[in-house]
Structures are given as structure tokens and as C-alpha cells.
Amino acid sequence: MFPIGRRPGSERDSWANAGFAHRGLIAVAFLGLLLPASCSRRPAPPTPTPAAPTSAPPAASEKAPAAESKASEDQEPSHEEAPVAGGTEAVAEAIEEPAPEEPAAEPAASAFDILLEAMGSPDLQIRVVATESAVATAGDGFANWCLERFDELSPVARAQVLVLFGRRGMAEALQKVLAATDDADEGVRTAAIGAAAEIGGAAVVDRLVALMDSPRADSRQAAREALARMSGEGVNAAIAAASKAAPPRVRGELLGVLASRNATEALDTVLEASRDTDETVRVAALGALGLLGGDDVLERALEILVSSSAPRERSAAEKAVGAICARSADKPRCARVALAALEKAAPAARGPVLRQLGRLGGREALEAVRAAAKDSNVTIQDAAVRALADWPDASAAGDLIEIARSSPRETHRVLALRAYVRVVSLPSDRPVDRTIQMLQDAMAVARRPDDKKFVLAALADVPHRLALEIAESALGDATLKAEAAVAVVKLARQLAASCRDDAAAALRKVLETAQDENLRREARGVLQTIEKYDDYITSWQVSGPYLVEGKPGPALFDVEFPPERADGSASWRPFLGRADPGRPWLLDLNSVMGGDNRAAYLRTCVHSPKAQEALLELGSDDGVKVWLNGALVHANNATRGLEPGQDRVTLSLREGRNDLMLKITQGGGDWSACARIRRPDGSALRELRVSAE
């Protein structure tokens, strides 16, 4: 906010211990400053001339008023003769002094004295409060009054008055402010530099730039910070112009200032500096290019990257190229420019360009990096492998798994394997079972336990029965069982609805093998939830959504969509809706394919050990149709919220497999269903096995 020096000791508690004296000082100043702002004292009213007594000589009568007036003047101290002291007694006198018969139209100079004394207080928080109060409430009169007395003030008070000048944008104080930038006191110098930036704008840039070459470290830092934050028209242009004549060290810092100000209009100055004879300036220019440059300067940054022999400059160029490419909306163009630079680069300079290609991706870039990974130059080969490890998508997966499998260098094998797992785990439209197969390939290639643990952690994020099987099989490996148990519990929680029996079996195995009590407690909690709702059908496949333009949800009830046809044209996928911990039996269709006025289908397989009658208990939001083994057994074109058991349907199960399909229509709002199969009398029917596959 403004420079303040800290005193050692109990500074933190100073405000609390300042007492009524300090607070009174500021309070009295506030009372004075609420009056019209002026630093002049209103003259005392003339003393009335008393009537001359009849018995007194005329001479005595004429002299009395003059003597009385003289006495009144003697009792009226001037501002210079009697400044207000800073102690409790002064405050008490100020408070207890009788009010004048005629209220003054202008503030007493003593109010200014009190506020200024508080601004120069040795107490940090008193200074803060007083200076902020002066900025917010004191008028121009107080600021001008301080300007007149500036040279007489203590260093602490001068610093705070400079803050006042700056915060008020007091142009008439600029010359005094600029002179104070060379003050012997550090606090005054720092405050003056900040005030100059606030008042002078572009006109003081040259002075601030000169201070950046000062032998005083505090002045250099304050000037740099002031240039970075100052506002006003023409400031960026003035800084850019000043940088051209500045010494190399200062020029480099000014390029950084331009970058911090996002001065894109100074890009030509930055580009010019990238060709400077001084390496420090060139490195600073590259840093600014990375922050300010767009696609149009990428070629220049790459030119430096492939041509410079100076390590610092090459490193700065690589960072600039990376920043420009990361911001670019046209990654293919960036890749083409980088490929052109790669063709011109000497072997020693190809590595940094290859690394940039690895972040950009694309078919042409992949071909170039793939070829470089087989280069006889080990430095180029290493850069190419690392570029593949940074690849932004799974197009490099085949190259990565091959390196992980066959590279003679362990570092490359580990880098490639972990990168392979990363890109395979990225969101994609490939089938889930294909993703699991790819992760299983990674598990087979992994040689170190740490790498296998890395694969297990990735599998735990793929909620599928196959992933659960792989994690469960790893429970028998002593080097992996702890991480495998974590993966099993995580997967079982996600699969509690869709693969209830498999999840429960895996959790029981965790309870048999795991040693960590917290993990065992978590496994028991998931298992108890599964067992509590074990007869609700939670393993389904889903198809849809299906809609007809212009038709509301109820009108879709009798529309025959692909799942109702015998041609097998419907597309099905596992139902992986959002689980509700309080209602794990709920099939939330909105979480899978939300929207209004549509329909969806759910299907599963019910395996019965014998032919038998059963009761299907249904709930739906909105309408529901039911088919068993291809025959329609129930239809209710309802518009309602879901409640378990709203509809009850008698089923004739045959021995072995029974195909169950539901159609759920949606008008608007919630969209869900639930179902379970029980005995005709409503009791549990435990011998059924349900699977969506």
C-alpha cells in the first residue's frame, strides 16, 4: 500500500496499547477536518470596548481597551508558537477547552498538526490509520498545508505525506516528490518513487528508469515495481523507448516489466532486443516473447532455439516456444513451423524441437518423433522418447508400449510405460473393455512392482467387471496386495449396482487378506450396502435416448424404437449411471442421458435354477413397459414420480436364462426406475442370478 518501517518490539500489540491519547489525537483531527478545508486560522473576534466609568480619568478610560486587546493577543498563541503536543495532556486540553462563542468556519491549524503528528507516529498502526484517514477525508487544504511544510518534517512523516500526495494524484507536488526520490532516508525514497509513479505517469518514466540503475538496491527495486504497476496513457511506449538507451542490465529488467504489464504493443521492441549483442538482454527478450508473443513470433523463437550455442539463451528460447505453443489455438500450424525448424536444426539442437513436437502432437509430428526415437544418436533418441512420453493423446500408445516392452534402457522403459498408461486412461470413445485390455497389456509389460502399482491405480478408475477381476487377482501378489486391495474397494464401490455379486465377492476377499484396518472398515461398509439391497436389479444395459421431434414424453410410449424390433439394430452399452449412496437401487437415467420428452430402454438377464412364478416390483418416473423373453407383460403410461413397488407384475420364469427389458418414458424433471424380483408372496427370492452381459 505504502512504505512503512517496522519497529522492533511489541509492534503487533501497539494499537491495542496505544491508549486514548493516540486515538484522541486522530479523533480531534477528524473533528477539525470535517470543517471546510483550509490551513489558515480565523482571526479572533475584536474585543468590545467597555463603557468608561464616570469616576475614572479620560486617559485611563482610553487605554483600557488597548491593554485588554493586547492581553487577548498575548493569550492567543499562533500555530508556530504553540504546536499541539502528542501526549494525553494535550488531548485532554483539546477536549476540555470551552467551545468558542462563534463556531469557526475553518479548521484550527492544531487539527492539521494533530493529524500530521499521527502520520509521523513511531507506532506503525497509528501511521496507517492516520494516513488512510488523510487520504480519505482530508481536503486539498491539508495536502497543500503539508506541502508547504514538507522540508521541515521528520523522515517518517515525509514518507507518509508522500503517500498522501501520490494517492491524491497531487500534480503540484510532483517536483517535491521527484526531489525526494534521492532522499537520504530509504523510507522517504521508496515512498517518493511510488508517489511519482502515481502522479506523473509517462512523464516520470525516464526518472524511474534512471533509478533502476541506482547504486541503492531499495531504489532499484522500488522503481522496478513502480514501473510494473503504474497506469496512464503512453506508459508502455515510454518504457519501451527508454529501454533502448538503458544499460544492458536495466534493459533486460525493463523487458521483464513490459512483459508483466502485458504490453503487446511493445512486441517490436522485444523482437529487436532478441538480437541484442548482450546475452542477458537476449535472454530477457525471450522471456518477454514467451509471455507476449503469438503465433506470428513462433518462427523467430524457434530460429533462436536451433541456432543459439549459449545454454541460457537456448533454454530461454525453448521456454518461449513452449509458452507460445501452449497458448496457440492452432496447434497443427505450430507443429508445422516446428517441423520446418527441425529439418534445419543441427543434431545438438534437435532435442528441444522434438520435445516441443511431443507437446503439440499430430500425425506428421508423430512420424518425425517416431523416426527420431530410432536415431543412432543417443541424445536425439532420448529426446524423442521423452517427446513420446509427453504426447497429448493415445495416438502414440503403440510406440510407447513397444518401447516399454523392448528398450534396452530402463529409464526409457519406465517413461514409456507410465506415458502409455496415462494416454490410455485419457477420455476416449473406445470401448471400455478395450481400455481394460490395453491396461492389462501394460501390467504384463511392467517389470518393477512400482510400475505394476501404477497400472493398478489406473485400473481403479475404470468401473468395469474386468478391471475388478484384474485387481482382485493381484491380491495374491505379496508386492502388490496393499495397492490391489485399495483398487478393489474403489472399484467395488463404483460397481455395487451394476456388478453386485462380483463386487461383494471381491470385497470378501479383501477382508480375508487386507491388514490395514481403515481399508477393512471401508470394505465392510461397501459390502453392507450391497447386502442391504441385494435383491434389487442393478446390473443393466441401456439403449437410447430415443425421441421424436414435436412429441411429448407420453406420446412416445407406443412408438416402436429399435430395441423393440427383432432386427437387432439397437445399440446397447453398460448402464453406468450416477450412484445415489442413500438409494443404490435407483437407476438415474438423467445422469446418463438427461433431457425432456424422450425414452430409454434397460435390459438384463435373469438366470433361474428352475421354471417358477415370480413377482416383479417396479417403480418408474414416468411411464414403463416390460418385456420378458420378448413378450410384453406390462404397460403403464404414467406421469409420476418414482416410488419402489408402484407396479407389481407376475412373471413366469423359465429355467435358465430369461431376458428382461424395460422401456422408461420421460416428460420432464426426474427420470428414473427401479426393479426387483421376489416370490409371489413378496418374500425374497435368493436363488436368482442377474447379469447384464
Residue pLDDT, tens place only, 180-217: 999 999 999 999 999 999 999 999 999 999 999 999 99
pLDDT per position as a tens digit, 430-462:
999 999 999 999 999 999 999 999 999 999 999
Q: pLDDT higher for 465 or 583?
A: 465
Residues 397 and 422 sit within 8 Å (Cβ to Cβ): no
pLDDT of residue 138: 78
Segment 339-357 mean pLDDT: 92
pLDDT of residue 581: 61
**Residue 175 pLDDT greater than 80, yes or no:** yes
**Residue 397 pLDDT greater than 60, yes or no:** yes
Where is average pLDDT lowest: 59-73, 232-246, 670-684?
Answer: 59-73
Cell numbers for 329, please give them.
Answer: 489455438
Q: pLDDT higher for 183 or 139?
A: 183
- Structural domain includes residue 324: no
Answer positive or negative: Cα dihedral of 305, 311, 316, 322: positive
- Structural domain includes residue 623: yes
Which residues have CB under 8 Å from 438's CB, separation 6+? Answer: 397, 401, 420, 424
CA distance 155 to 172: 21
Residues 342 and 350 sit within 8 Å (Cβ to Cβ): yes
**Residue 485 pLDDT greater than 90, yes or no:** yes
Distances (CA, A) of 24 to 95, 114, 341, 383, 598: 9, 9, 72, 71, 74
pLDDT per position as a tens digit, 309-335:
899 999 999 999 999 999 999 999 999
- Structural domain includes residue 640: yes
- Structural domain includes residue 421: no
**Residue 117 pLDDT greater than 80, yes or no:** yes
pLDDT of residue 569: 87
Share of the chain above pLDDT 90, in %: 70
Q: pLDDT higher for 625 or 140?
A: 625
- The count of domains in the chain is 1
Where is average pLDDT lowest: 86-90, 252-256, 505-509?
Answer: 86-90
Segment 517-542 mean pLDDT: 86
pLDDT of residue 579: 63
pLDDT of residue 583: 76
pLDDT of residue 109: 53
CA distance 427 to 16: 58
Q: 367: pLDDT confidence band, cut at 50, 70 and 90?
A: very high
Residue 372 one-letter amino acid: A
DSSP codes of every residue in 501-569: HHHHHHHHHHHHH---HHHHHHHHHHHHHHHHTTTB----EEEEEE--TT--GGGGTT---GGGSTT--
pLDDT per position as a tens digit, 545-565:
999 999 999 999 999 999 999
CATH of the domain at 683: 2.60.120
- Structural domain includes residue 617: yes
Burial of 210 (0-12, 13-18, 19+ CB in 10 A): middle
Segment 142-167 mean pLDDT: 94
**Residue 62 pLDDT greater than 70, yes or no:** no
Which residues have CB under 8 Å from 83's CB, separation 6+? Answer: 110, 113
For the chain, the farthest-separated pair of C-alpha atoms sits apart, in whole angstroms, at 144
Domain holding 625, by residue range, is 541-691
- Structural domain includes residue 597: yes
- Structural domain includes residue 222: no
Q: 16: pLDDT confidence band, cut at 50, 70 and 90?
A: very low
pLDDT of residue 122: 92
Cell numbers for 611, please give them.
Answer: 421354471
- Structural domain includes residue 562: yes
548 φ, ψ to 5°? Answer: -130, 125
Q: What is the mean pLDDT of the chain?
A: 85
CA distance 83 to 87: 12
CA distance 404 to 411: 9
Rounded to a whole number of angstroms, the distance between the first and last alpha carbons of the chain is: 67
pLDDT of residue 15: 37
**Residue 103 pLDDT greater than 80, yes or no:** no
